[in-house]
């Protein structure tokens, strides 16, 4: 009976996995067809000819600039967010000072602030410091908006870290800065992978801030750049499918490589001990 139960469970899980993967398979086949195959043939039929030139076409058409802008803006925001959130979480959970609870509450208030309500104040602030149409405005905004959720994930894990490790480091003459960077950060690798993936998904797919703060084509990221590219190639649906594959591929690759760490980090941060 147990074997039958496990078999049925795996069959159900395989069906769910196939249901999740099916849209990606369809999009990949879509990107390798021309307009005639897309509209005349079956949606799931294999292409008569694998048109890899669709990818070369969109890359030469400017999608490469948007792609690299997304890469460096997303990467810079992730590094700053994870570093600042780790520092703040370490100070709140591992150090004793009077206003630690109040400061934590201020950070958590950020979870309740809608993005759209901050657009006008942020735009006015960036105009005053000459950061409109500058990628730094995106990096700063992404870092600030992702700090609360990143800290919330880190909090549970930091509470579980044994204080004996810190006490031994202090006895050996370790400074606070050295303790944080050489002892605490390496110990938080599982939950760090979790927050990196969470931040990457948000930063990579973000649209509102890019569309508001950036106007030059050379600074646009994929989410806004694809919109312009679709307008340029309105009738070439295979090229449009290629742009969508390029845009989702980095997130899929990141999740595949970090999936085990993500599950481990979520499980660890959910338990306070």
pLDDT digits (tens, 9 = 90+) for 111-140: 888 888 889 999 999 999 999 999 999 999
Domain 61-269 has CATH 1.10.3720.10: yes
What would the pLDDT profile of 81-99 be if each residue is shown by its tens digit?
Answer: 999 999 999 999 888 888 8
Residue 117 neighbours by CB under 8 Å, 6+ apart: none
In the chain, where are the structural domains located?
A: 1-51, 61-269
Q: Give the C-alpha separation, 106 to 117, whole Å.
A: 18
Distance between CA 124 and CA 132 in Å, rounded?
Answer: 9
For residue 172, what pLDDT is reported? Answer: 84
Highest mean pLDDT among 27-31, 87-91, 173-177, 263-267: 87-91
Res. 231 pLDDT band, cuts 50 70 90: low
Query: Nearest-CA neighbor of 73 among 250, 258, 262?
Result: 250
Inform me whether the pLDDT recorded for 235 exceeds 70. no
Cα angle 63, 75, 17; round to 5: 75
Q: Give the H or E element holding residue 74.
A: helix 64-94
Could you report the per-residue pLDDT of 165-224, keeping only the tens digit for each? 888 888 888 888 888 888 888 888 888 888 998 899 899 989 999 999 998 888 999 888
The pLDDT confidence band at residue 4, using thresholds 50, 70 and 90, is confident
User: What global pTM score does this model have?
Assistant: 0.84
Mean pLDDT of the chain: 85
* Closest to 211 in 3D by CA, of 222, 202, 200: 222
**Summary count for the chain: helices (H), strands (E):** 14, 0
**Residues contacting 40, CB < 8 A, separation 6+:** none
Instruction: Say which DSSP state 46 is in.
Output: P
CA distance linking residue 270 with residue 273, whole number of Å: 10
């Amino acid at each position: 009976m147990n074997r039958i139960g496990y078999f049925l469970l795996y069959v159900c899980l395989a069906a769910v996995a196939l249901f999740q993967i099916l849209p990606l398979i369809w999009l990949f086949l879509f990107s390798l067809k021309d307009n005639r195959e897309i509209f005349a043939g079956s949606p799931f039929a294999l292409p008569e000819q694998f048109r890899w030139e669709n990818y070369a076409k969109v890359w030469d058409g400017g999608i490469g600039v948007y792609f690299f802008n997304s890469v460096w803006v997303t990467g810079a925001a992730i590094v700053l967010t994870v570093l600042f959130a780790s520092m703040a979480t370490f100070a709140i959970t591992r150090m004793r000072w009077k206003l630690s609870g109040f400061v934590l509450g201020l950070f958590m208030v950020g979870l309740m602030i809608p993005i759209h309500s901050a657009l006008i104040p942020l735009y006015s602030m960036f105009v005053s410091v000459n950061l409109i149409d500058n990628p730094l405005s995106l990096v700063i905004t992404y870092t600030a908006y992702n700090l609360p959720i990143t800290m919330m994930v880190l909090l549970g894990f930091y509470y579980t870290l044994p204080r004996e490790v810190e006490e031994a480091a202090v006895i050996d003459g370790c400074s606070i800065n050295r303790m944080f960077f050489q002892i605490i950060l390496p110990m938080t690798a599982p939950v760090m992978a979790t927050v990196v993936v969470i931040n990457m998904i948000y930063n990579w797919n973000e649209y509102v801030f890019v569309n508001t703060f950036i106007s030059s084509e050379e600074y646009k990221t994929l989410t806004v750049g694809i919109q312009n590219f679709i307008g340029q190639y309105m009738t070439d649906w295979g090229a449009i499918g290629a742009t969508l594959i390029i845009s989702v591929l980095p997130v899929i690759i990141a999740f595949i490589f970090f999936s085990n760490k993500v599950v481990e980090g979520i499980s660890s941060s959910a338990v306070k001990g």
